[in-house]
Structure 1
């Protein structure tokens, strides 16, 4: 009997121990867990804007909040409205605490210039300076943005732009005015940093396109070919073998320049004054663009679109458009590529009002719209269509006629549903538009 009671005593002590453990578990301090949320989902803003930030916590016991911006205490509520006038990246953090301890979270907010994100449409002008139209992500338009920011005019017959390392390079065929043959701007503010007129006078002949691999490694395409320009010394060197370089956009991929010469694409490596490689195609090349995977897509007059590895120059595959759309891939006087792409979906219009869609590798081409059926005063398509790399909307520039060029459209088409829609139409902003450029393509 004594042994029986001893067993009961031991069991009772064991159960009491377990119960004590449970009590201890229940008394475990509830530490807060905190995250930072933006009221509108954005963590990027202009200096004129603000972002409402909210602390999301898992614990109902939180009693104190402390907000910090770049380490400086700025608030003690669960909600904080961030404002900043100076451009840059800001570290915003919150410290949440209760009687049991503290939790910390942080996020980065970008305060950027007006022009860092959006769409530019460049115009040549008619015996006048070129212009830049800027369309913000919200659809707000700034007409003649260069003049707005600098109080002067760009060089005559503005043709092309390229963005690298927060610098915008703009090339004009005739130069002059407040700009030059080459004008370098801050890409966020469009404030002019440098211009090259006298330095390039006699060295270039009506330059039309520009890319940059570095501040002292700039490549210009002109009537004589592709030339390397080194601002530090003023040296301009013609790349031998590019004498027939087509008046069309050059592409930078894998830190190299890819330019169109007849039926080939030539490769120029950084800091070099010579062709590093030549890639041959079936017909005259009508466009070179950077693919979403970092390689390049090349179109030619035979109706082929070919993907090329930018490291080995191997052709990774080819896709052929329909016979109906083949003509829009022919090389023409358009200064922009005959193809434009968002992922593997390509669009093409050539100098036609008809826009076609083609998915790479499917060999299926669809006519999406004839702009003349949906938009007034579409007389002449000036340069080729361009697809927005984020929204997938397709931009098409048109003028009523050569003598009526002041009547014009920047039309934005939405092809996301069964029927095409005009999501925006900006009237009478251009003067012989040379191309549409999306800042996102230069990131």
Structure 2
């Protein structure tokens, strides 16, 4: 009997302990936070509203800090930075039962860091060139940004064309051809930091940065070295004759497109001419595989960046020389895949409407157009640029085969060729090229 009583008491104690544990498990443990997009990038002047999800408990309080400095006590927080940098933003939700926290990492770029520039030639004889800007995620362009930031300065005169630009070492270098200047600005603020009037004797066409202090100017009569610290231009490089357009650097070689010799390869240190591998019609872009691509008539050509060995394949169209009314090359290369994109020129003096893609190693890939523009659109200026930030092809068009005042920027999926969106801006602007942030 005593043993039976002991068993009953033991079972009762176990039941009480289990009940206590069950009550402990049901005790509130405080709020839980979920953040859907913890890492974001914006530019100075932009803002981002941070709206974390959390379980709602009675008596809940909130706390926000930016780099450990208190900034708010609401359930959401709008972050609008005044300076560039990397910011850690912490959200804490608390009750008497406990607390939870989550972090946001926000990278803040310069005013013009979160998007790309559109360089417009200008209306020859009437209006100078201009710089527009597109911010990622928006459906518009911001017009006349260079003029807005530098109201007392101009990009040459009405008889010059803003034709080429590139970003090198934190600076935007813009070349205004037909007697115009070389203009240098900060790449993220557009504030002008220097210029060379009448660059290369009025024959400036293109620019290539080599390192922190050296660059090259492609001109109507050859190539000139430029000191990037002083913007002093040296004597014309020996052995290069005729107009020189696009140039790319790979290792210690510079590959320059020249109207007389096609591809000219220079030593990037001594500027000595190393070789003239083939009579390029247009060029050049660097593929993901490192090869330098251009075209010779109806052949898509490539050169190995160190051995200079050549390769070629047949295209279903012929390239047309850009010299005369020079514009930047109508080619671009993916940095994600071994894909080269090239625009088919129109007939006669008209602009083209078809873009082809070559997948390295697959000769048949270039047999059919990858993109055909919608009716009443023609490629203009360089026409196409690959954006590694979005894996898109950024295409510039106008509404005429020879001229037009309706300008469009179209965004195509670089993998499928599908059109994602189109932005339109009207006026006689003539988009020369887009310039992407690195």
> TM-score per shorter chain, which class?
0.7 to 0.9
For the structure 1 residues 398 and 53, does the alpha-carbon distance in structure 2 shift closer, same or farther, using more than 3 Å as the test?
A: closer
Could you list the per-position Cα deviations for residues 180-208 of structure 1 after superposition, in whole angstroms to 9, with x for gaps in the alignment?
A: x22111223322222222xx76x545111
Q: Which residue number corresponds to residue 341 of structure 2?
A: 347
CA distance in 1, matches of 2:55, 2:270: 61
Task: Say whether the 8 Å CA contact 1:207–1:221 is kept in structure 2.
Answer: yes
Q: How does 1:99-248 map to 2 (within 5 A)?
A: 99=96, 102-109=99-106, 110=108, 112-114=110-112, 116-123=114-121, 125-127=123-125, 130-136=128-134, 137=136, 138-151=138-151, 152-155=153-156, 156-175=160-179, 181-197=181-197, 204-233=201-230, 235-238=232-235, 240=237, 243-244=240-241, 247-248=244-245
Shift of 1:354: 3.1
Cα 1:119–1:192 shift into 2, 3 Å: closer
- Matched residues in 1 for 2:59 and 2:292: separation? 55
Q: Equivalents in 1 of 2:72, 2:393: separation in Å?
A: 41
Q: Distance in 1 between matches of 2:275 and 2:33?
A: 55
CA contact (8 A) 1:350 1:383 kept: no
8 A Cα contact 2:195 2:231, kept in partner: no
C-alpha RMSD over aligned residues: 4.5
CA 1:101–1:131 in 2, change beyond 3 Å: closer, same or farther?
same
- Cα offsets for 1:373-407 (capped at 9, x unmatched): 7117x6xx6544204523634524447587xx5x3
Sort the Cα spacing of 1:125 and 1:26 in 2 relative to 1 into closer, same or farther, 3 A.
Answer: same
Deviations for 1:139-193, whole angstroms, at most 9, x for unmatched residues?
Answer: 42344432233223212332211113432111123556xxxx2211122332222
CA contact (8 A) 2:204 2:220 kept: yes
1:70 aligns to 2:67 (yes or no): yes
**Aligned partners of 1:295 and 1:149: how far apart in 2?**
37
Question: Which consecutive residues of structure 1, in runs of 5 or more, have no partner in the other structure?
Answer: none
5 Å matches for 1:9-408?
Answer: 26=25, 30=29, 34-37=33-36, 43-45=41-43, 47=45, 49-57=46-54, 63-99=60-96, 102-109=99-106, 110=108, 112-114=110-112, 116-123=114-121, 125-127=123-125, 130-136=128-134, 137=136, 138-151=138-151, 152-155=153-156, 156-175=160-179, 181-197=181-197, 204-233=201-230, 235-238=232-235, 240=237, 243-244=240-241, 247-252=244-249, 257-261=254-258, 262-264=261-263, 266=265, 268-269=267-268, 272-275=269-272, 278=274, 281-284=277-280, 286-291=282-287, 293=288, 295-301=290-296, 302-306=298-302, 308-309=304-305, 312=306, 320-322=313-315, 324-325=316-317, 327-328=318-319, 330-333=320-323, 334-342=326-334, 343-352=337-346, 353-361=352-360, 362-363=362-363, 364-365=365-366, 366-367=368-369, 374-375=375-376, 382-389=380-387, 390=390, 392-398=392-398, 400=400, 405=403, 407-408=404-405
Q: How much does 1:75 deviate? A: 0.9
Q: Specify the SS of the correspondent of 2:246.
A: coil
Structure 2 unpaired stretches of 5+: 347-351
- On the 8 A contact 1:62/1:96 being kept in 2, the answer is no
Q: Secondary structure in 2 aligned to 1:52?
A: strand
Q: Which deviates further from its counterpart, 246-255 or 134-143?
A: 246-255
For the residue of structure 1 that corresponds to 2:429, the secondary structure is coil
Give 1:232 shift: 3.6
1:100 Cα deviation (Å)?
5.8
| Matched residue SS, 1:349 | strand
Q: Which moved more, 1:355-364 or 1:382-391?
A: 382-391
Which whole-Å CA distance do the structure 2 matches of 1:295 and 1:418 have between them? 24
Aligned-pair CA distance for 1:282: 4.7
Match of 2:349 in 1: none
How many residues end up aligned between the 2 structures?
412
Q: What's the TM-score once normalised by structure 2's chain length?
A: 0.74
